[in-house]
Structure 1
Amino acid sequence: MAVKIRLARRGRKAHAMYDIVVADVRSPRDGRFIEKLGNYNPQTNPATIVLNEESALKWVMDGAQPTDTTRAILSYKGIMMKKHLQVGVNKGAITQEIADKRFAEWLKTKEAKVQAKLDGLSKEEATKAKARMDAETKVKEARTEAINKKAEDAIAAVEAEEAAKVAAEAPAEEAPAEEAAPATEEAPAAEAKEEAPVAEASSSTEATDSSKKEETPKAEASSSAETSDSSKKEETPSASAEATGDSQKEEKK
């Protein structure tokens, strides 16, 4: 029976995880399997691999064919290197001690590479975190500066408004005093104006009285003239009567 070492998918769609299984080549991808060797999580950086190395080496030595992804995982964990050395031991090309020594050296080099990669990732993450912190600090400083500027503008506006109010109230307080002085100055002028009409009124009254006095003699003169005329008229008939009497006397003679 042909056997493969492959991945069996599980987990959510966007956060998939995989089991490393030994299964018949005829079974479906997520179908029945013979043995589970470990699991693989590509969501972490670096990827998390949990593997039963002894069982994996046994199946590889028995002829199980890993898929491409599973081969990369087995190579990463040193299973394929162990197989290569064990084949040399089985053929008598090298001893088991030499094979173990070479595997230890390879494993040490591999661990150094892995650690260097982890350090690089940590350094990169620290750099990114520092960049994020710097960006956030700049944003906070800009926000604080904007808030302070806004507060300063508000304070300046309030101070300007208060200064304008004080400036508006100061002339308003000085204006009544200035207006009071002209009012006091205008009061005598008003009194003079009031006295002038009174004087004019008295003079006009005196003028009317004098005119009345002047008119009164005229009236008396006219009345005396009228009386003289009437006396003359009265005297005239007597004279005419006397004239008629004389004429009659002359006729009788």
Structure 2
Amino acid sequence: MPVKIRLARHGRKRYAYYHIVVADSRAPRDGRYIERIGSYNPNTNPATINLDVDKALTWLSNGAQPTDTARAILSYKGVLMKKHLLEGVKKGAFDEAEADRRFEKWSEEKESKVQAKKDRLAGEKAKTSQERLAEEAKVNAERAAKIAKKNSEMAAEAATASAEEAADEAADESAAEEPQAE
């Protein structure tokens, strides 16, 4: 029975996540599988990968063949690196303690790269939100200036209108008083 390590699709339309499974190569993509060894969610940035490294390593050493995407995920998580180091131990190139030390060093470097990307993305997000707030404050200030200008123009018009009205009333009163004097 040819065994593959591959992805099984789950989730809703246009928002898929995947289970990393070990399955018979003749089984349907989302059908029967032998064992679930992890999950992969490409919707987050960076993608979220939960993987049981020991199970994946066991299946690889037993002859399971990963698909291209599964191979990339296994490589990203270090399963293929660990398998490579264990084969070096079997051949006598170095001992198991050295292999563990090399894998730990690689893991730490990989984790620091991932954390740096997360920090960079968070910084960019904060920067863009600050820029948007500054632009919005500028637009609000321009709107407030236009409203103040319009209000002052309306107040000036109202003042001139009331002054004209007062002058008209004074002229009407003086005109009304003159005929009475005769």
Q: CA deviation at 1:143?
A: 3.0
Q: Deviations over 1:129-165 (max 9, x none)?
A: 1122122222322333333333333323322321221
Q: CA deviation at 1:61?
A: 1.7
Partner of 1:60: 60
2:53 and 2:153 map into 1 onto residues whose CA distance is 71
Partner of 1:114: 114
Higher deviation after alignment, 150-159 or 47-56: 150-159
1:37 and 1:2 map into 2 onto residues whose CA distance is 17
- Number of equivalenced pairs: 182
Q: Which has the larger radius of gyration?
A: 1
Higher relative contact order, structure no. (Cα contacts within 8 Å, ≥ 6 residues apart): 2
1:62 and 1:113 map into 2 onto residues whose CA distance is 31
The residue type paired with residue 88 of structure 1 is G
Q: Deviations over 1:195-229 (max 9, x none)?
A: xxxxxxxxxxxxxxxxxxxxxxxxxxxxxxxxxxx
The residue type paired with residue 120 of structure 2 is G
Q: Deviations over 1:79-125 (max 9, x none)?
A: 11111111101111111111111111111111111111111111111
Partner of 2:92: 92
The verdict on how the C-alpha distance between 1:137 and 1:171 changes in structure 2, with shifts beyond 3 A counting, is same
Partner of 2:165: 165
Secondary structure at 2:39 match in 1:
strand
Secondary structure at 2:19 match in 1:
strand
1:128 and 1:108 map into 2 onto residues whose CA distance is 30
Secondary structure at 1:20 match in 2:
strand
1:89 and 1:24 map into 2 onto residues whose CA distance is 30
Q: Deviations over 1:147-198 (max 9, x none)?
A: 33333333233223212211221222222345556xx3xxxxxxxxxxxxxx
The verdict on how the C-alpha distance between 1:171 and 1:81 changes in structure 2, with shifts beyond 3 A counting, is same
Normalised TM-score (structure 1)? 0.67
Secondary structure at 1:22 match in 2:
strand
The verdict on how the C-alpha distance between 1:98 and 1:156 changes in structure 2, with shifts beyond 3 A counting, is same
Normalised TM-score (structure 2)? 0.91
Higher deviation after alignment, 109-118 or 161-170: 161-170
1:163 and 1:67 map into 2 onto residues whose CA distance is 88
The root-mean-square deviation of aligned C-alpha atoms, in Å, is 1.7
The residue type paired with residue 148 of structure 2 is N
2:167 and 2:55 map into 1 onto residues whose CA distance is 95
Secondary structure at 1:9 match in 2:
strand
The residue type paired with residue 61 of structure 1 is S
Secondary structure at 1:94 match in 2:
coil
